[in-house]
Chains A and B, each alone.
Chain A
Amino acid sequence: MNYQTIIGLEVHAQLLTKSKMYCGCSTDYANAPPNTHVCPVCLGMPGVLPVINRQAVEFTMMTALALKCTISEFTKFDRKNYAYPDLMKGYQISQYDMPIGLGGYLNIDVDEQRKKIGITRVHLEEDVSKLLHRAVPGGEDYSLVDVNRSGCPLMEVVGEPDLRSPEEARQYLIKLRSILQYLGVSTGNMEEGSFRCDANISLLPEGSQKFTPKVEVKNLNSFKAVYLAMEYEAKRQRKAADEGEKLVQETRGWLDEKGKTVSQRSKEYAHDYRYFPEPDLPPLVISLEQVEAVRKKLPELPEARRDRFMTQYDLPLYDAGLLTSSKAMAEYFEEGVRAGKEVAPKEIGNWLLGEVSRIINAGNIDIDGFRKQVSPPALTGLILSAHGAISTAMAKSVLEEMFNTGKNAAAIIKERGLSQISDTSELEKIVAEVIHSNTQAMADYRAGKETAIKFLVGQVMKATKGRANPQLVNEMLKQKLAEASNQAGGE
């Protein structure tokens, strides 16, 4: 039977606020020793009270607006109750039935088709502590609690089940992350856990209205993991459905190294979170004026920037789309354009999407990592060199070295003595030597075999370690050969 794959994603993004969601502790704990960014509030000590982080509310409003959501005029916080040692208060302050943002969408492009993906809601909550599992050598297992992360603001974006393939799921995540990065509300770093995704996936049998039971997949730590896990689940569920196996509503975990999902919890063991309104926080009333004030602060978003790149820099849709999918890449590009007035924007784009992307992918870094070694002006400097001083092939190798050493193109070209030899007097002797020692090629050429000259050019290039200007060598060779045959004819 044929089935349609139905996917909906829930994304948790850590917000880039200075302080935590309900207390004044710093959120900048990445390199801090455990339990140093804590206070009675985020430790969940007796008698302490939460205070809402205004910046976090604003970031959530920005996100909701960028996702075309309606901002609730009346919103509130709720307690989500469950017991676990990483949850300091025994409940998480979240938003249950009145989130900040409701009913929006974002666009994705798959196979050159634009598709609108619904956004159910955007709400605010807090992060939990980190548990570090340890074992005494040869002895007992135990766990340590690092409370630094406890109480950091988390924004949840719940998407509608509008995605129909693993690729659509991947594109949705790329687009959502890009929007968050453009807004400056989250780093969107999935590997570091500041951008987390849970996926709901089920099947719709052809001609039916009845979906198979929803499976929630957790532990997805990269875009690739989301893609692979969705692919795996879609296959697994299809096979099960075809073989008449009963599919159940459950939570499954993705095992990256094994490339498969395993059941973690079925519906019968689902939590009853006993949500109720947080009595320590009065409801949050957001006025239309406040919404408009936040709307005014929204920066240019990926789609708008892509369209601008197409008109302002005369880039094709494909290039503009790729260059703007990451805010950092788009900014690198525009800085490059500003620095290299003599270089066509399209050429800078080609380099970024070509060689630079290759280096980034090979090094498993991002454009910011690349920027640390090669600044936008340094890149345009290299591109300029490739217009004359060095060949394109050489320029690629120079870029590699620039990235490895952080040196600029001119320095490397000078150091390696790479600049092209365009001086005929310098080349004269080498050309003569090549002609002299390749009599067969000479004979071939004379016999009318035009390709023989390419071989001779290659020999000159080899002798000059690629530094000779190939056009010039070509001309010189032709001239010399013509002279030689004239002489021969005169004998």
Chain B
Amino acid sequence: MNFSLVSQYSGFLLRGAGLTIVMALGSIILGCLLGTVLGLMRVSSSKPLSLFSGAYLQIFRGTPMLLQIMFIFFAIPQIYNMMTGSFFNWKPEIAGIIALGMNSGAYIAEIIRAGIQGVDIGQTEASRALGLTQHQTMQLVILPQALRRVIPPLCNEFIVLLKDTSLISSIGAKELMYRSRSMGVTTYDFVSFLAGAAIVYFCLTFILTQASSWVERRLAVSD
């Protein structure tokens, strides 16, 4: 065990942490976009849209994240090759962000659905009785109230996502997990490097938690 080695290689590790943050942000953004669209589809009165969103959720919730990452990284280029005869390859970072984003999109859709359906039906009735359209009701009355309810579960999802970026190391993205493991292998000092990585992950999720409760307090002022 030699923690001075960790500080000696801190630049190397921190570049990994940087990539971890970038990949987490990328998949959070993709997940939120997908999740919002899928969540609205889920509560829409259109049967096909709702069914599609439900099926999407089942598929992504019913298979392992690691498998999804590998499928997108290894299998999608093969399928592309079978269909078109030409070749393409993902960067592992890009494939990883897409896999994580698509996966969390399914969970975020559920969070958004629950947030919308958790708003009292009386709010919709009052809006419609005033002559607001369905769209105006959603935009002006329901979504602003749903937003407050979804922040704690969304933050939870972001924390899961941040930690799950470590899975992308399995396809060769040189993020924090990948680098600390390879330093462990190189130096035979797994304790120091894995503990170092653990501290970085912990700090990042701690910051996320604090940010979330700050936003929650801000939004709660009028409530």
The answer to whether A and B interact is: no
Chain B residues packing against A (C-beta within 8 Å): none
Chain A residues packing against B (C-beta within 8 Å): none
